[in-house]
Structures are given as structure tokens and as C-alpha cells.
Chains A and B, each alone.
Chain A
Amino acid sequence: MAAESQATAPGAQSGGPSHGLRIFLIWLVVSLAADLLIWFALGPHLPPGTMSSSATEEQGAIKLMAVMSAPVVVFVIAFFCYALIVWRQREGDEEDGPPLRGHARVQTIWIAGTSVIVLALAVFGTVSLVTSHGAGAGEGPAPIWSPPGAELTAAQQTAPWAPGKPLVVQVIGQQWRFTYRYPQFGGFETTELMLPQGQWAQFNVTSLDVIHSFWAYQLGVKADANPNVDNVAYTKPEHVGPFTVRCAELCGLWHGAMFDYGKVMTVPQFQAWAGATKASLADVTRLLPAFATTYDPTVIPAFRSGPVMKKLGLTSAGGFFYPPEDPVQP
């Protein structure tokens, strides 16, 4: 390339100060300090904490990426600050700068360097996605990174739960709250989310109306709730305590108020709670549709006549499929 062959090597001009070396030294010191601070001081406090296996994984990912990106940020900022101070136009200097049009080695190093960093990040992300069993994100109806022993068939999901087996919790998003169904405990449905400590939890997230997103913040779980879709996410709560659940996908008027609190408890506490709730809700559970991965809210088994919308005679695509869920200011 004719234009780039006339380039001079940065910093190679004899006589002048070695700008490259100065910038390198500033970069080395500042980025080392930044990385140490991030790893040791900031790292342990980074969200979303270490309450569950997936939260720990996410904290690790955020920490590692912060450590990797800090030197990049420091390099660019150090270079800009240095350039703006040293190479600013002096009073009365109307001359143009040196006509440097490029530098083949610098460009090659830059392109190779950024490519290596980027590919390394992609490999890291993929590995941590697999080892952490999906990192708490919704994997859709056919998860490929399930934890050992996770059951998927409906029949297995409704078999009674015992410690050591993954706990199946169905998260049902609806405007504007989440309800939780425990198929391994007779399929009761409650507004309280309780999880046993140290046991894998399998969230089967679905929706009755529009798209919601089940975000258990401290557990590092986020999975969209789509109507007619079973979206599976895994996590293993490690510590006892409360956590926040928020809807993370705009779902209408009261999206902002769609939150509740869950709790991680010890296994005996959980079993006691589940047993008591199952008994107290038995009358309600009998009226609910049988446990399934998704639900059609227009079909209510208590009305034996069939789909609710039948009364208008409009059930097909020519029909009128949303009216009962129209958002009305409560």
C-alpha cells in the first residue's frame, strides 16, 4: 500500500521523548492497580452475590470481564489524556502535523490483539455457560445443560420430592403477579416462593397472558415467561435467606409493581412448609387444572362446557382472543 509505506514508526523518531514508553508505563501502573482493586476490593461485593450456584457464576463472569476490560479502558483513556496534553496546538503554531498515514505493525498488533481477547471471551463465556448448567438463564423447553439427575418428563416431575432430587417449581407469570406451582407436592399453587438450601431447583417458567420475565435477583435466575412455552432454568441455592423476585420484561400497566419476595430455607423447614401448604390449599388445588407445562387460561375445568370464549362463538383466528385480559386500570 503506497500510502502506508511512507509511515514512520511511532516513538522511533530520534531526539524526541519516547511517547510510547511513557504511555506504556502509565498504562502498566494504572491498570495493574485497577485490576488488583477490582479483583480483591470490588470483586467480592459485585452483584448478584453468591447466594446460589448461578449467582456465583455470574459474579465470577462480571468480575473476570471487569478485570479484562480495565486495562483496555485504562489504555484508551491514558492515551487520550496523554495526547490531549502533549500534542495540543501551541500558541501561534499554525503548522500541520506530520503526515502519518498508518503503521503496518501497530495495526497488525491491534487487530490480532483485539481478536485474541474477543475469542478468549467467547470461549470463556461458552465454557462457563456449560459448567454452570445454563448460568441461571432460561434454556427453553429442551434444556441441554441440565444438572445431574434433573427430570423432564411430566410424569417424573409430579413424583413426590425427596432431598437429593431437583425440586421442580413452575413459575406462572400473569398480569401482574407470579404464582408458583409445586408439582412434586400434589401440584398446589401459591404466591410464596420457597426453596430448599443446597438442592437443585428447576424453574419451569410459563405465562398465562403476555411475556413476563422471572428475575430472582439474588439467585441469579432470569427466564422469560412466554404464553404456551415452558422455559426451563436451573439454580442451586447455597445460602439461607430472602431474595427478591421482579418482573424484568414490560408486561403492561402494573409491570413496575410486579415483584415479590422468596425465601431459601433449610431442607427440614422447607419440607414442613410444603407439607403444611399442601394440606391448607388442598381444597383449592382440587379445582385447578392438572399440572401441565403450559396452560390455556380460556379453559377452566370448573366450567365443563369447554373454553370460556365459546359463549361468544369466537374461538378461532377469526375470533377474539384477548378481551378478558385487556388492561384496565385497577
Chain B
Amino acid sequence: MAIETEPGTIQHPGGGQPGAAGQVRAWWMRPGILTAVAGAAVGYAFGHWLGNYLASGYPNLLLSDNSDTPIVIGYVFMVIGWLIGLGVFNDLFNQMRGKRLVDYEFRNGADTGLARYFRFTLDHKVVGIQYLVGMVIYFCTAGLFAMAIRTELLSPVHHVFSSSVYVEIVGEHGTMMMMLMTSVILGPFGNYLVPLMIGSKRVAFPRLEALSFWLTPLAFLILLSAILLGGFHMGWTGYASLSVQDASGVDAYAFAFGLMGISIILAGFNILITVICYRAPGMRWSRLPMFVWGLLGTAVMMTLAGPILVGAMYMLLSDRTAQTAFFAARLGGSTYLWQDLFWFFGHPEVYILALPGFGIVLELLPVFCRKPLFGYKVAAAGIIGVTLLSFFVWQHHLFNSGIDPDMRPLFMLTTELISIPTGFIFLVGMGTLWKAKIRFTVPMLFCLAFFWNFLIGGITGVFLSDVPADTTEHGSFFSMAHFHYTIMGGLIFAFMAGCYYWLPKMLGIKLNETLGKVQFWLMFLAFNSTFLPLFAVGLAGQPRRVFTYARNLQTLNDWVSISAFFLGFSILLFVINFVWSTVVTREPEVGNPWQSRGLEWQTSSPPPAHNFDHVPVVLSDPYEYGVKDGPPVADLNPPPGVLTAAFSAPESARAEA
């Protein structure tokens, strides 16, 4: 493990020896988003031609209704062209050619200005901002699809969309939310803040990290391209054999989802190794911030569940192109195979979406309660428990599907066991509030709302885990409301809390607090007004993903739709606040506005290029609020020699302090 005690040498864009002047190319030759788009276009054209060439002579491939083979091979070369255009392989090729590489540190310092956000850059802080903007764009796009869904459901008899377009919209909304939002917290906040919070100057694998981001815009565009290919009509779960028989849009769905699977493996792996290997001296496991614990669990799940997703999508694509029969029951395949593979990824996936929320909320509560975190070990145990159990519950999605009935009591038990570690999170939250001095800032409001939402989402999850009750609730709006409470009410509320809390750190700019409070109340009320009635709608017998429903449910559905429009408006308010504060008013925020003890707040805002001038020595956990004469969280300027001592005997760091 190499911890740099001095700032790394500067890498010049375009390569060159350390310290040598960068090779300057004409602007249109510089690797960046423009060359990437050009590469993608050329790549797709070539791949499509190649696919047609390969398929010619095989009538069964050509006859596979909508030329799936050329489309999929086109996407493959589109990705390769995009990455070549971005310059992802430049260092790799230089190394293969035996050239001495410029230093492997990030390019910070040398690469400044707005243009770096449109390049393949190795600075984890730039990647964090790229992720943040990307995620907001993906979230808003998918949110627009949700608005379209609720517009259609305003009436059971008058239709805005045809049944085909409606199912397409449902699929786009679900897939975009679930696949692109996987990294909604790990991407922006994880990449940006984890090194700062553990006292590191860098992440473990800056290239993998940057690659994980640059796959997302392409996955986004490929997923949207499904609309041009006739859409896909099987929702985000893509159950075979519907996904095998459906139109060419499924190729886009499967390819984009698989691509995103690779992205989450890379993103998770980078964070996992960074947390394990790049902690500053004194940052013991018992001092790790809760946010980092949450992301550690997330990263483990991403790294282990992602490959299953990629494999499943590969099998689906080969069923559709090469006419294999993994999922065709009549030819020896099994429709259950897809369900098992998909949910073996899909259930950890929903905890991938929950754990970062736990982390943010537990990280922020002590700051605004002005108290230490209650039961640190219980909180960490809760996160570890959810991480482990998440791999043992997937068959509760198959309770009615005709699986071996012996399995159902087992999966009922494992599913209900999950509520023990999630209960820990509530215990820790409530213990932290006990006799606190609660400050009602905007991030704190979002954290408190998280507990309300997750309470409802969690309790209804227990209803769904019980097989007899699940017979009625499965596949209805009840389960849909349940997971919106845990994912939107949990993850997105925590994301908002994180935005209001950390954007001053990341951008050095204050967000407007009044607008923030207005947004919070609108979002909280509209959210509950949208999804609480949907439990009743589901119990009253409305299945998911239908464009028409029983007439007597129209009042409830209209109520929900109108609330959903307010909810959409509240997200728009966030975007307005974000743009207004960062572009128009630009009120600087340099210090530590929340009086937080977090290590990330001990550097300036935004942090300097190398995060810390010297590797800090961590002296205590970040939650020691109210401790009289307690130590500072870290020594940011440790005396020379202390690092060597820290490596030889971990206890000595404390003794010196």
C-alpha cells in the first residue's frame, strides 16, 4: 500500500514524460466527448455492417425478425469506438509499446476549466461531479416517463397513449431508474467523498472509476434508442420468454443493462479496494464514517451481483441473436432460469439502492443532533447484515411462480430476517435523537423524512414477505408502492440530503436554503400523497403496468396522478435551486457551514487538487460531538516521522497525539 506523502507529479494531457510538456493536439483531435461521439458513430456503422455480414448465409439469423444480430454487434463496436474516442486505451497502448508512462496519479492541477468535465479524467473529484450531473439528468429523464405514466392513468377509459406505447414508457421508466440510478450515491458522493473521508489523496483505480462513469452516458443513450427500435414491452424485469419474442428494443434494453452491469462492477470494485487499502493512518474500522460503511456494503453487493446481471443479459442477447435457447421452455431452456438469475442480481440491487441511503442518514444525524452516533457497532452490524442477507432472499419474487413449494417458508424466513438489521438503523437513529439538540437544516429535514418513508416502506415489506398475504399483494400496486417508498422515499430523499449537505463542499457554493425548505416540504408531502394511496389501490386489486383499471378506482388514481405532478415539480425546484445557486448567485461557501467533525470538512471547499497537503493522522471517529476536550478528528499536519511510526505500530499514532 503506497500512501503518497508528497503531491504526485503532474500528468499532462496527451501524455509525455513526467515533467515533460504535454503533447498539444489540434482541438478536434483531443480525446474528449466530441471524439467519443465520432468514435461511437463510426463504431456503430461498422458493427452494423459486420453483423449483417456475419449473419448473411444463416437464414435463421437473418430471419430473426428485426435484424437483432447487426444491432447488437453494432452496439458492441459503438462502445469500443466511444472508448477509443475518449482516449481510454491511450495509456494502455503506450504501455504496450514500451513507452515509459507518465505518472499514474490523477491529472489534477494540469487539467482545469470546464472542459475537463467532458474528458476521461482520472481525478476522483472531477468524476464525482460528472456522476452528479449525469445522475440528475438520468433521474429527470426517467422522472418524465413517470409523469407520462401518471398522465395515462388519469382515466381508465380515455387514453393518452396506445397500450403499446404505455408499456414502452413503463419499461423505460423502470429500467432507467433501476439501472442508471444504481450508482446515484456511490457515483457522485462515493467517488468524490470517500477518499476525503478516509484521508486519502486518491482512489485505488482512477481509470476504472472514470471508465465506470463514461459507460453510463452510453448506456443511457442505448436504452433510449430502444424507442427507435420499437421499444420493449416487458418492464425493467425483462421476463423471458416475453423478452425473447419482443421487438428489437429488447436488444437495446439488454445491451444497456449489461453495459451498466459492467459499470457498477467497476465502480463498486474501486470503492471497495479504496476503502480497504487507502485509509489514512489511524482510520481504523471502528472510526470509519458510517457513510463509508454504507458504501462498503454497497460496493460488495455491486461487485458480487453485477456479474450475474451481465451474464443474464448476455444469455438473453444470445437467445435473441444466435438463437440459443436458455429461456425457451420448449427447447430445453427454462423461464425460471431468467427469473432466478435476474432476481439473484435484482434483490441485492434493491439493497444497493438502500444502503447508501442508510449511510448518508447515519452520517448526517450526529452532525445535526450535535451528539455522537448511538451504537456505532450496531449501525455497522446493520449494514453488514443487510449486505450478507441480500443474497439469500431473491426467491421471494417467485412465491407464486410455481417454484418448489418447500422453498417458500425458507425464503419467507430470510426475507423477514432482513428487518432485523434494518431495525438496527432505526435503533441507531432514534438513539442518536435521544436528548439531542436537533438543528432543522435542509439536509436534516430530508434525513428525518427518510426515516418516515423507510418505516412505511419497511413495514409493508414485511406484509409482502408473508406468503399468504403476498398472494394478494404480489404484482399489484401494493408492491409497487412498497418499493417506491424504500427506493424513492429512502434513496432519493437521502440523495437530496447529501446534495444539500455536501454540495457546498464539492462546489464551494451555498445552495439557497429557503428554496431548499420549500422543495423539501413540497417533495415530502407530494411523495406521501402519491404513494400512500397506492397501497390501497393495490390491495383493491389493481395490477402493475396496466393502462386501464377498474372504474371505481378512478378517484384514487386521479388523486395519485395530481400528487405525482406536484412531486415532479418539487424535483424541478431542486434543479432550479441547483442551477440558480451554482450559475446565477454563486454565493461562496469556503468553511465548514455545518460545524461538522467529518474529515472531509477539515480541508477547504472545494478541496485542493491533492485533497490533503500531507496524509492526515486520524485521531478519533468523526462523531465525538459534546465530548469535553475531545481530540480533533485528525492531525492534518503530522510531524515528520509520525507516518513511519504509524505503519510500524498503529497504537503509536494515538500516543503521539
Interface, chain A (partner B; CB < 8 A): 1, 3-4, 10, 19, 46-48, 54-55, 57-58, 60-62, 65-66, 69, 72-73, 76-77, 79-80, 83-84, 87-90, 93, 95-103, 106-107, 110-111, 114-115, 118-119, 121-122, 124-126, 128-129, 132, 134-145, 205, 209-211, 213, 215, 217, 220-224, 226-229, 231-232, 244, 246-257, 296, 298, 314, 316-323, 325-327, 329
Contact = CB atoms under 8 A, between A and B. Distances in A.
B474 interface: yes
A48 B470 CA distance: 11
B585 interface: no
Given A65-B466, A69-B459, 7 more contacts: A60-B468, A111-B427, A125-B409, A126-B412, A224-B401, A227-B335, A326-B65
A316 B406 CA distance: 34
Given A99-B627, A211-B239, A80 B330 contact: no
Interface string B140-175: 000000000000000000000011101100100000
Given A217-B541, A253-B233, A321-B331, A79 B433 contact: yes
Contacts of A97: 369-371, 435-437, 625-626
Interface in B406-465: 406, 408-409, 412-413, 416-417, 419-420, 423-424, 426-427, 430-431, 433-440, 448, 451-452, 455-456, 459, 462-463, 465
A30 B136 CA distance: 41
Given A83-B434, A138-B402, A140-B402, A248 B543 contact: yes
A61 B468 contact: yes
A314 B60 contact: yes
A318 B323 contact: yes
A142 B406 CA distance: 10
A136 B436 contact: no
A322 B241 contact: yes
Contacts of A144: 405-406
Contact of A256 (B65, B335, B427, B547): B547
Contact of B404 (A111, A140, A217, A317): A140
Given A88-B438, A107-B427, A229-B402, A80 B451 contact: yes
B336 interface: yes
B541 A98 contact: no
Nearest to B460: A69
B224 interface: no
Contacts of B417: 118, 122
Interface stretch (B242-250, B304-312, B604-612): B242-250
Contacts of B63: 320, 323
B30 interface: no
10 contacts: A57-B468, A80-B448, A80-B451, A97-B625, A102-B377, A118-B417, A205-B402, A221-B471, A246-B543, A250-B235
Q: B241, B331, B465 — which one has the most chain A CB atoms within 10 A of its CB?
A: B241
Interface in B480-506: none
Contacts of A55: 472
B407 to A, nearest CB: 9
A114 B421 CA distance: 9
Nearest to B414: A122
Contacts of B419: 114, 118
Nearest to A13: B435
Interface residues of B, number: 105
A57 B467 CA distance: 11
B557 interface: no
B372 interface: yes
B309 to A, nearest CB: 19
B224 to A, nearest CB: 20
A137 B399 contact: yes
B546 interface: yes
Interface string B393-405: 0000001111111
A137 to B, nearest CB: 4
Contacts of A256: 163, 166-167, 545-549
Nearest to B244: A322
A83 B540 CA distance: 36
B323 to A, nearest CB: 6
A143 B405 contact: yes
B227 interface: no
**10 cross-chain pairs, A with B, having the tightest CB-CB distances, nearest first:** A231-B402, A96-B626, A256-B546, A228-B329, A135-B468, A248-B475, A97-B371, A210-B242, A140-B402, A83-B433
Contacts of A79: 430, 433
B476 interface: yes
Nearest to A83: B433
A60 to B, nearest CB: 8
B34 interface: no
Contact of A250 (B234, B332, B412, B474): B234
Nearest to B405: A139
A10 B427 CA distance: 13
B315 interface: no
Given A61-B466, A220-B471, A224-B402, A250 B242 contact: yes
B545 A141 contact: no
A213 B400 contact: yes
B363 interface: no
Contact of A106 (B64, B241, B431, B546): B431
B624 interface: yes
A143 B408 CA distance: 12
A73 B330 contact: no
Contact of A87 (B60, B170, B400, B437): B437
B375 interface: yes
B469 interface: yes
A110 B381 CA distance: 14
Given A58-B472, A248-B474, A10 B242 contact: no
A148 B61 CA distance: 51
A222 B592 CA distance: 56
A114 B416 CA distance: 10
Contacts of B427: 106-107, 110-111
**Max chain A C-beta neighbours (<10 A), residue from B402, B424, B540, B549:** B402
Nearest to B550: A244
Given A138-B401, A231-B402, A249 B336 contact: no
B409 A126 contact: yes
A99 B372 contact: yes
A219 B482 CA distance: 23
A107 B403 CA distance: 38
A46 B463 CA distance: 13
Contacts of A3: 376
A248 to B, nearest CB: 4
Interface string B216-245: 000000000000000001110101011011
B440 A320 contact: no
Contacts of B455: 73, 76-77
Contacts of A244: 541, 550
B651 to A, nearest CB: 14
A229 B325 CA distance: 16
Nearest to B433: A83
Contact of B402 (A76, A220, A226, A255): A226
Contacts of B439: 89
B328 interface: yes
